[in-house]
Amino acid sequence: MIEIDTKTFIQAKFSEYYEKNSVNIRPPSSIEKREFGFLLLKERIMLRHKAFKTAQELRASLKALVPAHVYYSSAHYEQPEEEMEEKGWLGADLVFDIDADHISTPCSKTHDTWICHNCKATGRGTPPKRCPKCNKQNLEEKTWPCEICLESAKEETIKLMDLLSNDLGFSTTDMSLSFSGHRGYHLHVENKDILTLNSASRKEIVDYIVGIGLDPQLHGLARTGGPNLDDFGWRGRIARGTYEYLLSATPEQLAKIGLGRAAVQSLSKHRERILESWKFKGPWTMIKGVSFESWSKIAAQALKKHAAKIDTVVTTDVHRLIRLADTLHGKTGLKKIETTAATIEEFDPLKSAVAFPHGTATINVAEAPKFRIGTEFHGPYRNEKVELPLAAALFLMCKGSARISEEHQHV
Ligand SMILES: [Zn+2]
Ligand SMILES: [Zn+2]
């Protein structure tokens, strides 16, 4: 009889997972050139600079160490096990990270919380810069993978794929796409042409995708007209974004972006004519009372809507460690799982990423918002003991919101 605590319980389940599923874990391409990093579950230490020659070696290590997080380098190295300066950088895959943390969603107010490590004050939504109670900057945010947040991350991923393939000419066959196991998606591009791009070149790609330094006037917006819906690249995106924006914008929203009363009235009054105008050359010059400056403000909104919200730091970092597919995410107990460009629309991350489909566990939940794992919804909970499907129970324990109940204290 061994007394166990929550961490030991998580460790035992993660161990079962790796015993059973390691055989299906596919290593990255050129495994022998990659650096691996493992964050250990109990010790909370990061083992870096690990290298493996074969998939078997990697799998044996996962079974023996049972890490909370498994990472590999986007970079290829001559000597991946050496210290950073000695590794001999050979190139890196082009990687993109889309995380709901970088997208403002209305639901974050209902499910995200923060705690001040100094005075233990708590609050909801995005944390303020300083603790409102003690004014210290020691705040920790707890975010949740909710359906709305994950759906917005998916939309950004689809926009990103579109920019990469239609504008920049990357082939979808060179792309791999996956749900991160927490709040976002990863997109990798692997091909010879991008392998040796330096950080500055990758920054150029990032700027194009997020529309940094993009001036609509250099994309056809002029006093004499503007871009058309079927134009190539950002030109077309600005036209389509303008079309979509005006389709749904309320007079209040138009005023909020800085349009004067005459322009707001005119745009509302001529809504039908504007929609019709796209069959010809667009509404750019035909609506009285809407100045070139007003159109520029609308085009800026169109740009914002069509840019993909990626984590720009990840893409420009040519030494980045990335989570390995089919390994567990220590903050959720879900697995990072691949999807494809063709199936992402129907992909349900909260269903596909379930790593523990059988069993139940009884836990004491401190606090949790309503959440879904698999097809079932659970919660909200506050200071209660519940028996949940194992995947949902592990999810709350990994999030630090629940402890294993005494019923499970003896195994
Ligand atoms: Zn405080
Ligand atoms: Zn949400």
Q: Give me the amino acid identity at 255.
A: A
Low pLDDT (below 50) residues in the chain: 1-3, 409-411
Cβ–Cβ < 8 Å for 35, 73: yes
Beta bridge mates, 186: 97, 178
> Environment class of residue 72 by beta-carbon count within 10 Å: exposed (0-12), middle (13-18) or buried (19+)?
buried
Q: Which residue shows structure tokens 């077309």?
A: 236
Beta carbons within 8 Å of 407's beta carbon, 6+ residues apart: 362
Known catalytic membership, residue 97: yes
* pLDDT at residue 355, as a whole number: 98
* Ligand nearest to the Cα of 149, by number: 2
Q: List phi, psi (to 5°) of 98.
A: -115, 120
Return d(Cα 186, Cα 208) in angstroms, integer. 18
Neighbours of ion ligand 2 (CB under 5 A): 105, 107, 146, 148-149
Cβ–Cβ < 8 Å for 212, 232: no
Beta carbons within 8 Å of 247's beta carbon, 6+ residues apart: 275
* pLDDT at residue 209, as a whole number: 97
Tokens of 243: 């079309």
* pLDDT at residue 315, as a whole number: 98
Q: Which residue shows structure tokens 């009235």?
A: 265
* Ligand nearest to the Cα of 125, by number: 2
Tell me how many degrees the CA angle 118-121-126 measures, rounded to the nearest 5: 105
* pLDDT at residue 39, as a whole number: 97
The CA 189 to ligand 1 mean position distance, Å, reads: 43
Return d(Cα 148, Cα 100) in angstroms, integer. 9
* Ligand nearest to the Cα of 101, by number: 2
Known catalytic membership, residue 162: no
* pLDDT at residue 354, as a whole number: 98
Known catalytic membership, residue 326: no
